Structure 1
Amino acid sequence: MLSYRHAYHAGNFADTLKHLTIIAILRHLCKKSGPLHYVDTHAGAGRYDLQDAKALKTHEFNEGIGKLWGRQDLPPLLDDYLQVVARLNPSNNLHYYPGSPWFAAHCLRDQDKLALCELHPTDFPLLREVFRGDMRVRCFHEDGYQRSLALMPPPTKRGLVVIDPSYEVKTEYQTVVNHLQALHKRFATGVFALWYPVVDAGRLQQLEYSLRQTGIKRIQLFEFGLTGNHDLPGMGSAGMVVINPPWTLREQLESTMQWLINAAYPDSDAYWRYLEIAGE
């Protein structure tokens, strides 16, 4: 199904967690001089206009990037995140919000490569235009599952794969687990980051169970929500599952997200959750 458009949700609280995770992973991987490969299975449009009718219909960005824009007291990871967003908004007015590929491109170096997959016929031309002229980037108007698997293992044997589907189809929760297994089989030392929404507690429990059943080691789960009541309609929480996370990731995200909740969501039901799905 191709009805999902991220333009309605760009810059929301779930994007904050997703993009903080991507930045933290890539900054750590870039500490070594060897080149990296970044692969995005559902890259979207690359950047989003927050003054567009789609964004203004939901105003979801007010509960995400809107909580942080203009603040001067941010801890390092959030400050890094905000500086990347600011590059799209040189006038200091919050007009545009980057997609995951933009964050990745601004973390990576000249020697690194990006492979961006997007199947949506409207979003793909926008994605390609955003990265026109960037010789590090290849955009694929293809199924991201198939293309990302074909790219494994990358020549450098170092990299990050981000999997961020829309979950429009209920079977997607099992599809992503199957895909992680296939990727890990070909590239066992790679870092894999899976985004998921919390719209049904039962599906989340099944996702966690299915991940444990894969037998893959070193799986961590990070979850951030505006409410812990998963019986409410809509997406009140979202998370990231990371395979082979940098050893610094848990502490870095935990301290950052606790600061964020205390500073930007006081007197709310916002919460943070960490779970080790599989250890060494």
Structure 2
Amino acid sequence: MTDDTVSRLLEEAVPGIPDELRRPPLREVRARARRRRTRRNALAAAAVTMALVITPALWRQATPDESAPPSAGERPVLPGSTLGTKVTWWMARVDRTGTKVTLYATRPPDGPPCQDRWFLQASTAMEDDVATLGLWDVSVDGLGCPSQGGGSLVPVEVTLHQPLGDRALVDGFDETTRPVYREADLPVVPQGPDGWSEVTTSFGASPGSEGLWSVGYTRSGGPDVWIHGYPPDQAPTPAADPIDTVDVLGARGTIYPRAIKEIGYELRWEASGVVYFLELSPTEGERISLQQFRQVLTRLDIS
């Protein structure tokens, strides 16, 4: 068999390359690149709108971060979609101006499993007697996690266009009124070298229940100041008869001995539908006398 015959047989046995495969698939490559850019831009646009402070579950804690406060911007429209996944929140803290609201948010407990990280945006609707605040996960798949475990409450800061005033706050997730803790109803605890420093804010809740909120202030040598807020139907009953009454920012406050008298005393008052307790924590091995308790109240402009 000659070389020419071998070459002819090989050419007939091996099929040629179709014309459509001789050219690079530029259209498909460009389409995939556009899809990648769309997803990447959506993530970047949502990421710049808020910084999350991740916190442990159950008795969750959030530490104020003055350098990078958590925040959520107005809800954007993502490329190719006007939707997002609703996120619920369990309680809110409102600053003294009434325009900065910190929502303690989480994914719905009965929702689908989350993955990756969420990116939140807020929607607000202000009416005469109620404000509805909604949170939306606008990550690409809408299934982002607030933390690796997916079960933590995360403080999210929302700025209102006007003061909240005495409006009730409604969760846009399920149109439920949530507990609101207003700093305007709390005494001003002096800060600085001669005062106290705010420590970790604690908040506790479980799915389907209302939230309990606490804020603490510490100082070298003590005593520390703790303020706890409760929905009225969950507030503890004082363990003893009242000792005296005082004025707390226009509300009537009552001083009671604490359950264990050696610990000291507590102040109870109600404002804006929340029952508050103020108590002092002495240094280890000491107790708070009634005179010391009154002295601290005086420094807080409570008399």
TM-score calculated relative to the size of structure 1: 0.25
Whichever structure has more helix as a proportion of its residues is 1
TM-score calculated relative to the size of structure 2: 0.24
Whichever of the two has the greater Rg, that structure is 2
Structure with the bigger RCO (C-alpha within 8 Å, sep 6+) is 1
Whichever structure has more strand as a proportion of its residues is 2
